[in-house]
Chains A and B, each alone.
Chain A
Amino acid sequence: MGFLSPWFLAGLAAVGLPLWIHLLKKHKTDPRFFPSLMLFEKRETSSVKHRRLDHILLFILRTAMIVLLALLFANPFINRTVAPGQGNHMTLVAVDNSFSMRAGNKLQQAKDEAQSVLNGVKPGTKVQVIALGSQVQTLTQPTSDLSEARAAVNSIQPSDGRSSYGELARYTRTLAESVKTPIEMDLVSDLQKTSMPPGFADLRLDQSTTLVTHQIGQPSANYTVENVVAPRRVYDPKHVRLQAVIAGFDAPGAKKTVTLLLNGKSLQTKTVDVPENGRAQVEFLGLDAPYGFSRGEVKIDSSDALAADDHFLFAVERTDPRKVLFVDDGRKPLGQLYFRVALDASPDAAFSMEANHPEQAAGQQLSHFAMVVLNDLGSMPPGFEDSLKKYVSGGGSVLIALGPASAAMPRVPVLDESIQASSYAGREGERFFTVSEIDTGHPVMRSVERFDGVKFYQAIKVTPAKSKVLARLNDGTPLVLERQIGEGKVLVFASTFDKLANDLPLHAAWVPFVQQSAAYLGGGGPEQPVNLAVDSYVELRSGDAKGSAAEVLGPDGKRLLTLEEAANAKNFAVRSEGFFELKAASGRQSLIAAHADRRESDLAVIPKETLDLWKATGESDQNAGGGQGSGDQSDRKPWGLWPILLLLLLLVALAESVVANGYLRPQVEEEKTKRKAA
């Protein structure tokens, strides 16, 4: 017997309360005054003694109430020995169908093993079958029908997901809470080490769960194409550089032939020496891709067990450099010069800049431009702002620089935020502003080194009512603001692009700032990476966009979204390897290449000690209360005594009420008699 909260036993000290009430307090009797005692006589027997005897039962009941209450809070329990298999229990068969189970015929072996587990289940015992990929897939509800369970095991298909034992443990904990019976979990898996969660606590099993592992296959050497780095867009095929990483897990050093394929056509082949349990990098120069989207693949010649990871998919898009419309009234030629130089400095030459006067720009078809830059305009030609707004709502982007000319305007065009004033700092005596706050996580601010050393002499104060502030000067003036309007974005730089209001163009932060801004804005929406791991999510629409439908075509060319998902879904989960054609709600099309998580390529098995520890997590819970460590711990279950104590407490409380009422009743009746007499 033990107590889960023994410190509550201190409450037993409260027994002194009824003791004081019944034995000590009664000695204090207030005398009652009477005119004369000449007619009274002294008695031999004290009536106080009689009263003390009368209240003994009440005293015992009250003391018992306090003792029971203290015991109830202390939560006592006794350990009861339960024979294995005694009583109802449920068998949970978890079959691993993750990517690593594609090695050889592991999945078939796993299914056979699961069938043999089911054969050993006694008739009438409840069984549930689940498949373990990146998520737990429930194939049956708890059922006594073994044929249904066998059919479920047969229906298990290989997946490209990554198994997670943490997810499995969480599922069993939830299940144990709902079924309230002991669970025997039969895990049929290759017991990959990489499937373990980062924290061991995530593996904790419920005390009623017993883990039985069935290992499928043995660890073996495996080579894989671990990663491919390729540009998302190809503007000049000759200047493309593509890198691939070849890794060997538990494998000896070997020479591997690496082939680059594009649209099924072999472009280049290289040979690389992969060190033992190491990695080697291969670089391909030039990618002769046709205009539009191309499906790329890097593969190695390997004869290991897991052939599915011997290739790596990637997607590229061949396109012409995107045009940037730079709107400038010509009074600040330096700003235009600095911006153009920074934009042209990009190695992939993704953008080409076209400078226009505002009146000239108003007549342009804006949809032909990847982005529009407004360089400190003092006024806008009629209708130009409306055109810009329409352009942004449709997915276009605008970068606005504010300067002395903009300060005269009541608000920032397109952004629609009011301009308060102009912040000035004198050049004399080193008086200038610096950047004090910056959102370094934002794509535009990633490599600008926090604008260190950049001096700002003038900035336009804009009140950010609807916009997000990405950077702020030390006097609190917002320096960089961003606002999402429809499918497009507006970025505001509250100073000029020349070196008059600041010396940013003279610093190293200028080029990355311009290029990142152009890449962020000119991309026309969230940039999808060149390839994704299975179980990643891709964005179909931003928060505001509604109405227009998104579309996803799977590797087999079939539509993957239902009509409702096409109209409303914001994200799409990639569940298998292959190429996915994606048309976002904004109308922008892209090609996504998905590959299995390469952690699945490491076939190393969980050490036995770790497995034993995992199995013991449920048992450790059992032992925590009783503090016993005998050999048959798994068969000893703590059995709480609180229901019995609670029942006893209720009975005692009832008895106390009845007894106490018995003492009070004569007084009440006396009062009634007195009232009647009156």
Chain B
Amino acid sequence: MLQRFLDPTVLAGISGLDLVAKTVVDGFIAGLHRSPDFGFSQEFAEYRAYNPGDDLRHVDWNVYARTERAYLKRYRGETNSQLTILLDASRSMKFGSHGVEKLEYARFLAASLAYMASTQRDAAGLIVFDDEVRNYILPSSRQGQLMRVMHAIENAQIGTRTNYAHPFHTLQEFLRRRGIVVLISDFWENPETVIKTVEPLRYHGCELILFHLLDPEEIHPKLRHPVLMEDLETGEAMEVSPDYTSHEYRQKIESHIENLKTRSRAAGIDYFLIDTSRPLDEALREYLAIRKGKM
């Protein structure tokens, strides 16, 4: 079937972030025929015969009433699972070459994920960081939580440079409960450092997903003349020739992405690269399809 994906620049024209999320999520869920196996929440898996010692709370009393046999209802995952979105708001996220900045795209992505969790009544939380934690909303499934998260995402401002070590050390204090942690960043850092910094979250039993956002100009820079490049975060300037960007840089960025991907897999972390020129719903659909295959 034909799927009409949403251009990021079109999404940027929509004023409300909640409306953006609703448009994206409803669109691709409709495209997936509302499969019950998708999503981050607890999913029904199977029935199991009751054994002594099992928690009676999990007995399905409806089945017992019909069959007079006690069965336990089993789920994939835990009940009351929580989703925490870590949004990188460092200065490098301000970059955008085709009308949508990376931070804006990251906002759409975060809002869409939060909306999806909300529709499944999972608790959703948000942490905005650069080299410090700038905003933190505890995961909750209370009424109005989605609006709070949306508001926080909307108000996420560009900060300074990225430093994963300091904010993640703080985050570990907050993320004591198991759940799903989504990290949205451009990961302009040594892949080894990134993985080492985020890996400890796995030890708390959290499922970690890295969304690597990159602008097409970052993947394939196009220069006509030698130009003076200035680092958005450090302010360092360097003269770059077209010849370098078309050969050596491309190899290096591919190597950087591959390195990040490999190290993530090795650490049991989901990694997904998103080109910000791609439609968001298409990217999400592809990612969830990959997750389904894993499950």
A residues within 8 Å of B by Cβ? Answer: 29-43, 46-48, 50-51, 666-667, 670, 674
Q: Which residues in chain B, 202-243, are within 8 Å of chain A measured between CB atoms?
A: 215, 218, 221-222, 224-234, 236-241
Q: Are A36's CB and B231's CB within 8 A?
A: yes
The smallest beta-carbon distance between A26 and chain B, in angstroms, is 11
Q: Which residue from chain B places its CB closest to the CB of A50 in the assembled complex? A: B226
The smallest beta-carbon distance between B10 and chain A, in angstroms, is 17
B residues within 8 Å of A by Cβ? Answer: 92-93, 95, 102, 186, 188-189, 215, 218, 221-222, 224-234, 236-241, 244, 248-249, 252-253, 256
Q: Please report the C-alpha to C-alpha distance between residue A38 and residue B244 in the assembled complex, in whole angstroms.
A: 14
Q: Are A37's CB and B229's CB within 8 A?
A: yes
Show 14 A/B contacts (Cβ-Cβ < 8 Å), sorted by A.
A31-B227, A31-B230, A32-B227, A33-B95, A34-B231, A35-B218, A36-B186, A37-B238, A38-B189, A39-B249, A40-B238, A40-B244, A667-B224, A674-B222
Q: Please report the C-alpha to C-alpha distance between residue A667 and residue B215 in the assembled complex, in whole angstroms.
A: 23
Q: Are A33's CB and B232's CB within 8 A?
A: yes
- Cβ-defined partner of B238 (8 Å) among A30, A42, A51: A42
Q: Please report the C-alpha to C-alpha distance between residue A670 and residue B232 in the assembled complex, in whole angstroms.
A: 27
**Which chain B residues border A674 with CB–CB below 8 Å?**
222
Q: Are A36's CB and B227's CB within 8 A?
A: no
Q: By DSSP majority rule, is chain B's interface helix, strand, loop, or mixed? A: mixed
Q: Are B188's CB and A36's CB within 8 A?
A: yes
The smallest beta-carbon distance between B109 and chain A, in angstroms, is 17
- Cβ-defined partner of A39 (8 Å) among B225, B230, B236, B256: B256
Q: Are A31's CB and B92's CB within 8 A?
A: no
Given known contacts A46-B239, A47-B241, A39 and B231 CB-to-CB distance under 8 angstroms: no
* Most chain A CB within a 10 A radius of its CB, from B233, B236, B239: B239
Q: Please report the C-alpha to C-alpha distance between residue A260 and residue B221 in the assembled complex, in whole angstroms.
A: 118
Q: Please report the C-alpha to C-alpha distance between residue A48 and residue B244 in the assembled complex, in whole angstroms.
A: 15
The smallest beta-carbon distance between A526 and chain B, in angstroms, is 87
Q: Are B249's CB and A51's CB within 8 A?
A: no
Given known contacts A40-B229, A42-B238, A47-B239, A35 and B244 CB-to-CB distance under 8 angstroms: no
Q: Are A35's CB and B95's CB within 8 A?
A: yes
Q: Are A39's CB and B253's CB within 8 A?
A: yes
Q: Please report the C-alpha to C-alpha distance between residue A594 and residue B218 in the assembled complex, in whole angstroms.
A: 106
Q: Are A51's CB and B252's CB within 8 A?
A: no
Q: Are A43's CB and B229's CB within 8 A?
A: no
**Which chain A residues border B225 with CB–CB below 8 Å?**
47, 51
Q: Are B224's CB and A36's CB within 8 A?
A: no
Q: Are B229's CB and A31's CB within 8 A?
A: yes
Q: Please report the C-alpha to C-alpha distance between residue A667 and residue B189 in the assembled complex, in whole angstroms.
A: 34
The smallest beta-carbon distance between A30 and chain B, in angstroms, is 8
Q: Please report the C-alpha to C-alpha distance between residue A32 and residue B221 in the assembled complex, in whole angstroms.
A: 12
Q: Please report the C-alpha to C-alpha distance between residue A38 and residue B253 in the assembled complex, in whole angstroms.
A: 10
Q: Are B229's CB and A32's CB within 8 A?
A: yes
Q: Are A41's CB and B244's CB within 8 A?
A: yes
Q: Are A43's CB and B188's CB within 8 A?
A: no
**Which chain B residues border A48 with CB–CB below 8 Å?**
226, 239
Known: A33-B229, A37-B231, A46-B239. 10 other contacts (CB 8 A): A33-B232, A34-B231, A34-B232, A35-B186, A39-B253, A40-B249, A41-B248, A47-B225, A51-B225, A667-B224
**Which chain A residues border B230 with CB–CB below 8 Å?**
31-34
Q: Are A666's CB and B237's CB within 8 A?
A: no
